[in-house]
Structure 1
């Protein structure tokens, strides 16, 4: 009898879609807290602490704390370190770039995943994926504009750094998802990083009005829902089947940027964004095709 499968593709797509909405709202709140003068380390602290407390309290009330048991504490610690760095960059970029442009730069993550597969996994990568990587980088140059005329180069560098860390995190989450349930992965990520971020409160912590506290609470809530949904989508569906939904986040970011900040992306973004999205979709398609070919003929190892 075949082993039980977690594959539920439609449920995985629904989870990924809800994650894009929550993540877009979280980034909006992060940008708004920045305009209110709330320091980024404090924003990160509440973003991590509130989900950890919510998950722990919910499991405690249900008598299910045993669900937090893990045999892979060091893997969780490594994921927290990589994910915490990535989150600092991911949330930080929206404070220096408009929402839409910050979101587009995040779509370069698949290109860095290809590069990492060569450097870390010694994977053979051929002309298809290398072409996609080069095209994606060209898209970044188009969005940045000649000489950084459209966007500040510091903001572009932060956005690319965030995408690089996301590529590392995706590998970690996919690995953890094979043995740990999504709730456990999210809890340890939040619980292990919150204490370190709390140290910054001695320098950046401040009192806030009710609106400020509601924004910080909203960041924690939307971040919790987005992270659980995104992690669960990788448990119930493959990366290649759910990652396409991520690009809908550009629509949310553009809409929110227009409604809240009266900002519409310039022509360079409308030209560069399809190049980046097309390149990342090409990578996803090619990896999916290679996986099917390898499953059909496991003794072959084509590069593409």
Structure 2
């Protein structure tokens, strides 16, 4: 099979991306269960990161590919790791503060933040279609959260929006790093820089765990790494603008998992607001595609793998 054929299998890309959405939804469920079992957020983050460095390093040693980690931009990787830690902490924090379906829905606002940042930081021209989509999407957030009078804690909503903002900001950094370094290197250095920081906190937050708690930590680490690999694989066979539609299936998985694990279904406000947010995200992706932008445009790049 030719290289061209290998890299243009859209149906396979869609299936893989659908699997990634399911796997990452399970990871977030395990994060929530781990937090509710009494494990500190910093320790959850630590065990999410450790297997990434260990497995990537082991694989590269076995295949003689350690040279792939060479970089002349360690400072940029360090900055990306600092932002990434904040983003991951906010993302996991939102899951612990909010129901799974609502946390997942608010996370979809990443695309809206990416449009705003592309205009403010990269000075890209954003037309009425995307600005309208941004307003529509944040209108959906207001419907879901009903500030001051809803079932969603204000702190949880703010943490979720902060997580989405950080992912959008990090996507611009990853876009820049990808000009010179390959994705495997970016993933490795993020974990390598963040593990010492999280490790320094371990003496203050780590506690003895039951077998159940260790199974949760092992599961979230494994599902997190698997989800990352599936996200990357989906982009090998299809463009971001084509496969991101499957990302919104995470709302279905999160709703089902929340119902099975906590006997909790979203209220009517979420069923009204979520379609607005999803529709707005799809409008942005469609507009990026019709404008002929590359798959690494900031608004679309925000949907790329971002460990």
What TM-score, normalized by structure 2, do the two folds share?
Answer: 0.88
Unaligned runs of at least 5 residues, structure 1: 294-304
8 Å CA contact 2:77–2:186 kept in 1: the answer is yes
Give how far 1:92 is off: 0.7
8 Å CA contact 2:48–2:224 kept in 1: the answer is yes
The residue number in structure 2 matching 1:297 is: none
8 Å CA contact 1:107–1:280 kept in 2: the answer is yes
Q: 1:7 to 1:165 in 2, by over 3 A?
A: farther
The residue number in structure 2 matching 1:193 is: 194
The residue number in structure 2 matching 1:62 is: 63
Secondary structure (helix, strand or coil) at the match of 1:95 reads helix
The residue number in structure 2 matching 1:147 is: 148
Between 18-27 and 265-274, the greater mean CA deviation after superposition = 18-27
2: distance between equivalents of 1:237 and 1:114? 22
The residue number in structure 1 matching 2:212 is: 211
Between 25-34 and 210-219, the greater mean CA deviation after superposition = 210-219
The residue number in structure 1 matching 2:127 is: 126
The residue number in structure 2 matching 1:51 is: 52
1: distance between equivalents of 2:233 and 2:242? 13
Deviations 1:154-184 (A, max 9, x none): 1000010111111122333344445444332
Q: 1:170 to 1:16 in 2, by over 3 A?
A: farther
The residue number in structure 1 matching 2:276 is: 275
2: distance between equivalents of 1:174 and 1:245? 22
Moved runs in structure 1, 4+ residues, more than 6 A?
A: 3-6
Give how far 1:225 is off: 1.5
The residue number in structure 1 matching 2:139 is: 138
8 Å CA contact 1:182–1:228 kept in 2: the answer is no
May I ask how many residue pairs the two structures share in their alignment? 291
2: distance between equivalents of 1:179 and 1:245? 29
8 Å CA contact 2:48–2:221 kept in 1: the answer is yes
Give how far 1:21 is off: 1.6
8 Å CA contact 2:118–2:124 kept in 1: the answer is yes
The residue number in structure 1 matching 2:302 is: none
The residue number in structure 2 matching 1:240 is: 241
The residue number in structure 2 matching 1:266 is: 267
2: distance between equivalents of 1:102 and 1:234? 25
Equivalences for 1:10-29 in 2 at 5 Å? 10=10, 11-29=12-30
Give how far 1:86 is off: 0.9
Q: 1:14 to 1:182 in 2, by over 3 A?
A: farther
Q: 1:260 to 1:170 in 2, by over 3 A?
A: same
Give how far 1:188 is off: 1.5
The residue number in structure 1 matching 2:292 is: 291
What TM-score, normalized by structure 1, do the two folds share?
Answer: 0.89
RMSD: 2.2
8 Å CA contact 2:147–2:154 kept in 1: the answer is no
**2:96 matched to 1:81?**
no
Deviations 1:37-81 (A, max 9, x none): 000000001101121112112222333322222333233223222
The residue number in structure 2 matching 1:166 is: 167
Q: 1:229 to 1:79 in 2, by over 3 A?
A: farther
